[in-house]
Amino acid sequence: MTRKLILDCDPGQDDAISLFMAFAARDRFDILGVIAVAGNTSLEKTHRNARILCELTQHTDIRVYAGCDAPLHHPLATAEEVHGREGLDGIEIYTPQMPLQTQHGVDFLIDTLLGSEDETITIVPTGPLTNLATALTRQPKIAPKIKEIVLMGGAYREGGNITPSAEFNFYVDPHAAQIVLECERPITVFGLDVTHQVLSSPDILARIKSINNKVAQAAHQILQDYSRFEIDRYGIDGGPLHDPCTMAYLLQEDLFEFKQCNLRVEADSPLARGHCVLDFWNTKPLPKNVKWAHHVNHEKFFDLLITQLEKYS
Ligand code: RIB
Ligand code: CA
């Protein structure tokens, strides 16, 4: 029995690695569609990049949709200083042959969910949450159709990566994050606390480079470039594999340790926009609305990543 997924992303160098892992597991995942969102770079570039990645992996049957081109209220902030002007430094950027679906990504999300049985579709957001928040607001009846939301976003112990206290995805569209966090469906959250435990260090890059196929070589080039920025900024051993944590969880749940607790996001404070208010110690009688990932077995995580990349040989 394959698991029905809708991938909602802003490729994005780490989104790319997550897509490589997903496309290598189509024996386990029924990927209903990929929806691009504005985030790491503009929507035009994220939906183009998503199609480039489908062509690179020879999964051009995947349907790619353009979703929202700006956050709900704040102006778009991008991360091109990290991912490059085209949002996907490390590989050749070109105009893909495969078509962009004509339906808006939010309409695709609503129509697909409304046409499914309850609790059957898993949504995997790895960018700002604008698409899912817009769909939930426009058509609340989609909520019962969602089996689980498995998202990358937020930070608690790690502090922020776009401001001192905010992680990028929640910072770009904190209002969308609030809407999703209040949707009363199962939400599994991979924030910086856990993604900073899986760094694409030189030995990992060497393992990836030794895999003799086009996709692994592209992953190596992407991560080599991606790591440069992260090492310069944080002085750490490599680039954190944020978005691939979502796919690693869907492939091998026991890699991670979780805490069920309350998560809210500051939306408008000039000082703390996007800040996560995580009640890790359950100090207040608030709904424990998220399963918060706080630890990962990083050796097994990278073994899984390597295994997925080897499937393209
Ligand atoms: O903060 C990291 C997140 O923001 C990742 O999803 C990265 O791709 C960017 O979208
Ligand atoms: Ca992303």
Mean pLDDT of the region 210-222: 98
- Binned at pLDDT 50, 70 and 90, residue 232 comes out as confident
- The pLDDT score that the predictor gives to residue 259 is 98
Task: State which fold the 3-310 domain adopts.
Answer: Inosine-uridine Nucleoside N-ribohydrolase; Chain A (3.90.245)
pLDDT digits (tens, 9 = 90+) for 16-35: 999 999 999 999 999 999 99
- The pLDDT score that the predictor gives to residue 228 is 86
- The pLDDT score that the predictor gives to residue 218 is 98
- Side-by-side strand order, sheet with 121-125: 64-66, 29-36, 3-9, 121-125, 146-152, 187-190, 290-296, 256-265, 276-279
CB-CB contact of 109 with 6 (8 Å)? yes
The alpha carbon of 127 and the centre of ligand 2 are apart by a number of angstroms equal to: 4
Mean pLDDT of the region 242-250: 98
- Binned at pLDDT 50, 70 and 90, residue 82 comes out as confident
Structure tokens at 199: 């760094």
Which one is catalytic: 47, 59, 220, 242?
242
Structure tokens at 64: 């790619």
Structure tokens at 248: 């690693």
- Binned at pLDDT 50, 70 and 90, residue 233 comes out as confident
CB-CB contact of 185 with 145 (8 Å)? no
- The pLDDT score that the predictor gives to residue 43 is 98
Q: Is the CB of 83 under 6 A from ligand 1?
A: no
298 is catalytic: no
Of 60, 64, 25, 9, nearest to 249 by C-alpha is: 25
pLDDT digits (tens, 9 = 90+) for 136-186: 999 999 999 999 999 999 999 999 999 999 999 999 999 999 999 999 999
Mean pLDDT of the region 256-281: 97
- The pLDDT score that the predictor gives to residue 114 is 98
- The pLDDT score that the predictor gives to residue 11 is 98
Taking all residues of the chain, what is their mean pLDDT, rounded to a whole number? 97
Separation of alpha carbons 236 and 9, rounded Å: 25
- The pLDDT score that the predictor gives to residue 237 is 84
Which atom number of ligand 1 is nearest to the Cα of residue 40?
A: 10
Residues in CB range of 309: below 8 A, 6 or more apart: 20, 21, 24, 208, 211, 213, 215, 216, 219
CB-CB contact of 159 with 191 (8 Å)? no
Query: pLDDT at residue 229 above 90?
Result: no
Q: Which residue pairs, CB below 8 angstroms and at least 24 apart, start in 102-106?
A: 103/65, 104/65, 104/66, 104/67, 105/8, 105/33, 105/35, 105/36, 105/37, 105/65, 105/66, 105/67, 105/68, 105/131, 106/35, 106/67, 106/68, 106/131, 106/134, 106/135, 106/138
- Binned at pLDDT 50, 70 and 90, residue 44 comes out as very high
Query: pLDDT at residue 230 above 90?
Result: no
Query: pLDDT at residue 273 above 90?
Result: yes
Burial (CB count within 10 angstroms: exposed 0-12, middle 13-18, buried 19+), residue 32: buried
Residue nearest to atom 1 of ligand 1 (CA): 168
CB-CB contact of 279 with 261 (8 Å)? yes
The alpha carbon of 37 and the centre of ligand 2 are apart by a number of angstroms equal to: 9
